Amino acid sequence: HLQQWGAGLLKPSETLSLSCAVSGGSLSGYHWSWIRQPPGKGLEWIGEISHSGSPHYNASLKSRVTMSLDTSKNQISLELTAINAADTAVYYCARDSGKIDLWGQGSLVRVSS
Amino acid sequence: SSELTQDPAVSVALGQGANITCQGDTIRHYHPNWYQLKPGQAPILVIFGKNNRPSGIPDRFSASRSGDTATLIITAAQAEDEAFYHCNSRDNDVYYWVFGGGTKLTV
């Protein structure tokens, strides 16, 4: 089970911060992805972080994204800086076991001045 | 980078079969995974790899592939199958996941 939380309404230029807790398991042995879906659009992979903390980011967002993990809390986190209206989306954390096989419930983040 | 193309919408009568396609060059190299999305719910993996169903997914869901096109097949569609379906696969050139734009299935 993946439980997400974070601020849902942000202003342009602010930093988006989301966290995701893994319950009933650990971070070990998996990669952990963040994926988003803007309103009316398809899913977009933001990036992933391995259980050892090695990240891979979508090139289109790489300059603004930071992913991290806290193994002691079984949590992963996403930061996206300098946000704008195009970053309005439902954000999901997800487990990657070679396939993305478990998703969080999603967090709607709206960017509005 | 790779792209995956899906038809925006498919309609099927209750109890009839539905095919949802996913087209892209990466499909030639990787069998895609398929996800079911319903509003307000966590997406669910319904098919992974060549034609594998996770535990709990009904056997009316299956998949096939021909060339650069993969198909999610739903035999005898049920009302609860009404949802968006997205395919996903690894990109050919760089290490990341790509998704199709999604298909809205109306039952």
pLDDT recorded at residue B24: 94
CB pairs under 8 A between A and B: 53
B42 and A59 within 8 Å at the Cβ level: the answer is no
Residues of A in contact with B40 (CB under 8 A): 105-106
Establish if B98 touches chain A: CB-CB under 8 angstroms. Answer: yes
pLDDT recorded at residue A26: 86
Q: What residues are paired with B43 via a beta bridge?
A: none
How far A50 CA sits from the closest chain B CA (Å)?
A: 13
Q: Torsion angle, CA of B72/B78/B83/B85, rounded to 10 degrees?
A: -10
Mean per-residue pLDDT over chain A, rounded: 94
Residue A92 and residue A3 in contact, taking contact as beta carbons nearer than 8 Å: no
How far A43 CA sits from the closest chain B CA (Å)?
A: 6
Q: What residues are paired with B98 via a beta bridge?
A: B89
Q: How far apart are the first and last CA of chain A?
A: 34
Phi then psi dihedrals of residue B11, to 5 deg: -115, 145
A45 and B86 within 8 Å at the Cβ level: the answer is no
pLDDT recorded at residue B93: 72
How far A67 CA sits from the closest chain B CA (Å)?
A: 15
Q: Identify from B2, B97, B98, B103 which residue to disrupt to test chain A contact, counting A C-beta atoms within 10 A and taking the largest count.
A: B97
What sign does the CA torsion over B54, B96, A42, A111 have? positive
Tell me: the pLDDT tens digits for A43-81? 999 999 999 889 999 999 999 999 999 999 999 999 999
pLDDT recorded at residue B72: 98
What sign does the CA torsion over B23, B94, A95, A37 have? negative
